Structure 1
Amino acid sequence: MTKSSAPPPAATTAWPRLNHGERETLREVLIHGPLPRAEIARRLGVSRASLTRVTRSLLEHGLIIEGATEQRAWTGRPSELFDIAPTARHFFGVKLTGDTIFAAVIDLGAHEVATVEEALTSRDVADVVKRIVAIYTELSGAFDDIVAGGVCVAGDLTQDRKLVVDSPFLGWKDVPLARILTDELGIPMATENDVRALTATEHWFGAGAGCSSLALITVGAGIGFGFVIDDRLVAGHHGRAGRLDHLRIDDAGPFCPEGHRGCASVYLTNESIVRSLNGAAADYTEAVKLARGGHPAALRAFRDAGTALGTLIATAANGIDPQKIILTGDGLPVWEIAEPEIRAAIDEVLSAGSEPLELDVQPFQFNEWARAAAVLGIRTVLRF
């Protein structure tokens, strides 16, 4: 187990009951702050007097601070800025894979302040819950103001995020994990598909902050898609939005394990790249090393993966016309090795007359999943 920690807070503080205006104001400062009162009022379409009442309440709850000033160009007078009081509350997050628990504590500004990584020795729901409770108990000893949290998993959840319908890496079906953990931990706990959780985090606190529409694509063990449209995270009617991993790339291609011929997953996942080398590489790391060294079969595999990725990127762009597309995941070497093939496929598939894509390739660390799960806690208390 690995852990980093920070000094404990001074006192336990429950999350206050906030009205709609207070939640909206706090969200604006979270995403766009520090902001002057006039700018917040303009963004929310409320009067200065109304906003003064709201900010007074948030100050009293210790959720924002009033500190620095900026000079107003049009009046020459200084304006006080409101910012998040990041250490006011903390949030707990867990990412579950088939063999590991990654946990994190973040502050209100979504800064990671503690992490735990632990091998998952059993996938039985009761055993996993027991380990999450033990990790939470340990972390809450250092942070006694944890007020909410979340867990993210690969797989399908219901639209309301209350039921894990199917998580293939864990072998779970129809598990009410949010309710179980809320009862066990005594704080509101949400569950979410891991890619959607990461999309929400990038939308509020990362490369997508300030974008009203966004597409996030992850490559690695699987292929994931997350979408934001009109500032709302898209789940889909059945909670399965973003299932583009089996989009057909080549009518004459090989079959994937689910029986689809020439689909993206048969070219782009880490495992599929390794499999295509017929034993020349033991794992993805070795496949990357071979491709970087000019190994013909490895280069061909990554170039095929690049064509698949470019097709998916352009398909997402054609489908929702996002302000930005973020690309991340532990399979990012495909971008480094096959960027020409990716861009060629984008040019071929992107609709004629489309605006140039704003494509943001983000470095990836695995603990980002746990941080994204903790951000679910922030979104839960703000009812997003």
Structure 2
Amino acid sequence: MPGATPTAAASTVPVGSAGGARRLRSTTPEPGPASPWPNLPEVARDVLLEVLIHGPLSRAEIAARLRLSRPTLTRVTKALVLAGLLVEGDTRPRPSAGRPSEMLHVRGAAHHFLGVKLTAERLFATVTDLTATPVATAEEPLRSHDPAEVVAQIADVAARFPGVTGIGVTLGGIVLDGLVARHEFLHWVDVPLKAEVAGATGVPTAVDNDVQALTAAVHWFGPGAGLGSLAVITVGAGVGTGLIVNGGLVAGSHGLPPHFSHTLVDANGPECGCGRRGCASSYLMTHVMMRRLTGRPTYDEALARVRAGDPEARRVFDDAGYALGVLIGTVANVIDPEKVVLTGDGLPLYEVASRLVHDGIEDTYEDDPDLIELDVQPFDFSEWARSGAALAIKSTITGTI
């Protein structure tokens, strides 16, 4: 790995707490890994970001988008080309007579980033270039839930991909400035994951909630690229929502992501496990859905039962589909997004209950449901890991890593 691993002065933090939550032995890096682009001016970051999100652009287009003078843009783009971040590529004819416009492209191979997604059972990793295009993937069982062991496992994975510019780690739960304040499935409380991974690898690291990171990746590198408003809804083991409003990722005053999972669907509905009844989570979380079925089948077994015409399974999936529609309609009522992206490991629900999803939207959304552009995106866990790499890219470009 490039860069020396910083030395650390250790301070003891109690291991374990009520409910089995785990804390990590805290260290204070002296200092942490330096930003790879410490001297990149803000205007240069803006130019790079514009080409990264919107694809190849001419200098005239960039100047118009960012309201930059020609001399300023010339100076900035020259510096980015010399730094190997942009490259001059093909030309495009101008609408009027004159020399064709030369296009600027992001030089993807200039940097690579490692994204890591943690679940309760597995670690998923993806290495991408600067454009978030995957170049390598890895997947393995999580060796332990102990925070120190997880950090060591991430460091082992990072060692297989030397030379990465940054690392992004995503996981469910509440993450505040790189501190995992709470993670239900790993039983973590106040784990300083960002500092520990950076210290163990010698690589600048970003850590965030997985749905927030996925939303940012969709907004920068996916079907929501460049949109001013966007909602990302994930269904599966949990129910997540990420929002883009006025071109920015929404986070609350306490750094918490948006929560719509307890939107009420039916006050007499099933319990969700958090003491609430009839909320979206009580219908949509896969383990709660399976709890309502005879024999507690796996999700794939339950889907097979639906497709075979089993009435009990059909009822559970129809209920879940309607709840998903209510959730989509509620989110659309709140922010009126240009697009709603639906994904997650529970996505087959939409395939078998799409009619009920649209019924729920129609019963909830206050305007014409045709105004909602619903984009159903195929899912696998490598996409979660890719969003970790996108998190590292974003943090590097914006100078927050």
Q: TM-score interval w.r.t. the shorter chain?
A: over 0.9
Counterpart check, 1:287 vs 2:302:
yes
TM superposition shift of 1:335: 0.8
Deviation at 1:240, TM superposition (A): 2.1
- In the other structure, the counterpart of 1:324 is 339
* Aligned twin of 2:45: 23
Q: Is the Cα contact below 8 Å between 1:164 and 1:173 reproduced in 2?
A: yes
Q: What's the secondary structure of 1:101's corresponding residue?
A: strand
- Partner Cα separation in structure 1 for residue 221 and residue 97 of structure 2: 31
Does 1:152 find its partner at 2:174?
A: no
- Tell me which of 113, 118, 127 is aligned to 1:96: 118
The structure 1 residue matched to 2:322, chosen from 307, 317, 332, is 307
8 Å contact 1:70–1:78 — kept in the other structure? yes
TM-score (norm 1): 0.92
Q: Is the 8 A contact 1:274 1:284 kept in 2?
A: yes
- Partner of 1:139, secondary structure, is coil
1:106 touches 1:114 (CA, 8 Å); kept in 2? yes
Establish whether residue 365 from structure 1 lines up as the match of residue 380 from structure 2.
yes
Cα distance in structure 2, aligned partners of 1:75 and 1:209: 31
Determine whether 1:184 maps to 2:213.
no
1:277 pairs, out of 285, 293, 297, with 293
The equivalences for 1:29-40 within 5 A come to 29-40=51-62
Deviation at 1:354, TM superposition (A): 7.2
Q: Displacement, 1:76?
A: 4.7
State the AA in 2 paired with 1:197. Answer: A
Tell me the percent identity: 48
Q: Structure 1, unaligned stretches of length 5 or more?
A: 1-12
Supply the distance in 2 between the matched residues of 1:238 and 1:105 (Cα, whole angstroms): 31
Distance 2:65 2:356 in 1: 42
Question: Which of 179, 186, 190 is equivalent to 1:170?
Answer: 186
1:248–1:262 Cα contact (<8 Å) kept: yes
Residues paired across the two proteins, number? 365
Corresponding residue SS for 1:133 = helix
CA distance in 2: counterparts of 1:120 and 1:301, whole angstroms: 31
RMSD: 1.5
Is 1:219 equivalent to 2:241 in the alignment?
Answer: no
Matches of 2:370 and 2:282, distance apart in 1: 30
Between the aligned partners of 1:153 and 1:127, the Cα distance in structure 2 is: 16
Gaps of 5+ in 2: 1-34
CA 29–69 in structure 1, closer or farther in 2 if over 3 Å, else same: same
Q: In 2, Cα distance between the equivalents of 1:121 and 1:105?
A: 21
- 2:352 equivalent to 1:337: yes
What do the CA deviations read for 1:61-117 (whole angstroms, capped 9, x no partner)? 000110100001123531000001000011111111111111111100101111111
Whether contact under 8 Å (2:36, 2:396) holds in the other structure is: no
Superposition misfits of 4+ residues, deviation over 2 angstroms = 13-17, 74-77, 352-355
Equivalent of residue 122 in structure 1, options 144, 165, 172: 144
Rounded Cα–Cα distance in structure 2 between residues aligned with 1:353 and 1:346: 10
Q: Does 1:263 align with 2:279?
A: yes
Q: Which residue among 214, 231, 254 is the counterpart of 2:247?
A: 231
**3-state SS in 1 of match to 2:234:** strand
